[in-house]
């Protein structure tokens, strides 16, 4: 599928671009494999910089997957993020 701005939100007061990483949240029914594909976040290339972090709530077969992504490259409007670190969903109670 494709990136949807409806699920895109800045977190916090936002640092000045280039002085510290910015943090964003993103929610989508797309899989994390879709979201970590080069070009998926091109629509926000003017908002993100290398090192910025994206907390992504994605879906795999209807199951929530929470993943921390960060921007690897952003050149000529093409954004590439890392594969991500999936946060554990263990519930011990």
Dihedral angle at the C-alpha atoms of 73, 61, 30, 82, nearest 10 degrees?
A: -10
The residues, ordered by sequence, that sit 6+ positions from 93 with a Cβ below 8 Å of its Cβ are none
Q: Read off the pTM.
A: 0.88
Query: Counting runs of H as helices and runs of E as strands, what totals does the chain give?
Result: 1, 6
- Where are the domains positioned within the chain? 5-85
Q: What is the pLDDT of residues 15-55, one digit of tens each?
A: 666 678 899 999 999 999 999 999 999 999 999 999 999 99
| DSSP helix, strand, coil percent of the chain (3-state; round to 5) | 10, 40, 50
The pair of structure tokens assigned to 2 is 């494709």
Judge whether residue 61 has pLDDT over 80.
no
């Amino acid at each position: 599928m494709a990136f949807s701005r409806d699920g895109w939100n800045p977190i916090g007061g936002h640092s000045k671009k280039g002085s510290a990483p910015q943090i964003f949240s993103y929610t989508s029914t797309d899989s994390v494999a879709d979201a970590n594909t080069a070009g998926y976040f091109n629509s926000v290339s003017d908002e993100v910089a290398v090192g910025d972090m994206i907390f992504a709530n994605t879906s795999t077969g209807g199951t929530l997957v929470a993943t921390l992504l960060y921007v690897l490259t952003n050149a000529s409007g093409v954004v590439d993020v890392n594969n991500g670190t999936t946060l554990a969903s263990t519930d011990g109670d």
